[in-house]
A = this chain, B = another copy of it.
Amino acid sequence: MPRGRRPGTSDTRQRILRAAADRFTTAGYDAVSLRGIATDAGVDPALIRHFFGSKEGLFSEMVADQIRPDRVARATRTVPTGELGWYLVRYFLTLLGDVDAPHPMLGVVRSAVSNEHAAGLVRRVISEQVLAPITASTVDRAELRASLCASQLVGMAITRYAVRLPALVATSPEDIVAWLGPVLQAYLTGPPPAGA
């Protein structure tokens, strides 16, 4: 949190994050420069460094801003454990929004797939901020169970919103929740498979 915070700071910060999300979505991690983002956001590049430190810091904040791990953490404390699977699918589809509008979440995935450093940053946000609170709701093999959930959610994001497999685009969010909910619930709280 920058010192000397004043009215308007939060707006500027959000404007930078939005510009960053757009750039990372269309260009990927390597091709993005702080200068370009500064131009889009109408601010001085020095201000981006002031808020986020570096491209690395800005990217991590952008990822957290897309995934909103605080809400996931809150849900794991308030949603009954036996409903968490359904909840996570619904939450994630809401995050991704309209299937016909390209979503910045794809920029996150794109960057993670194309750049090892970005992959490490995404891994850290997912592991520390998203999976950690979820694992608190599981019994054994907590980290693996949460990671299996992440694998299904990320896969749905790619195939429905990026590759746009027709059957997934045509299926309503409610129906996708109905199909994936029990799967995530079994990953979280089901018995481990025989032999695993």
With contacts A109-B113, A110-B110, A163-B126 known, is A168 near B183, CB below 8 A?
no
When distances are taken between beta carbons in the complex, the residues of chain B under 8 Å from A194 are 178
Interface flags, A82-116, vs B, CB<8A=1, else 0: 00000000000000000000000010011011100
Closest CB of chain B to A35's CB: distance in Å?
20
- Which residue of B144, B155, B195 is within 8 Å of A167 (Cβ)? B144
Contact of A165 with B123 in the complex, beta carbons under 8 Å: yes
Binary CB contact string for chain A from 179 to 196 against chain B (1 if under 8 A, 0 otherwise): 111110011000011111
Most B CB atoms within 10 A — which of A110, A150, A158, A186?
A158
Report if A119 contacts B (CB, 8 A).
yes
Flag whether A68 is at the interface (Cβ < 8 A): no
**Does B113 contact A165, Cβ atoms closer than 8 Å?**
no
* A78 sits at the interface (CB 8 A): no
Interface centre among A157, A174, A179, A195 (most CB of B within 10 A): A179
A109 touches B158 (CB 8 A): yes
**B119 near A110 (CB under 8 angstroms)?**
no
Q: Is the CB of A152 within 8 A of B150?
A: no
CB distance from A73 to the nearest CB of B (A): 18
Q: How far is the CB of A60 from chain B (nearest CB, A)?
A: 14
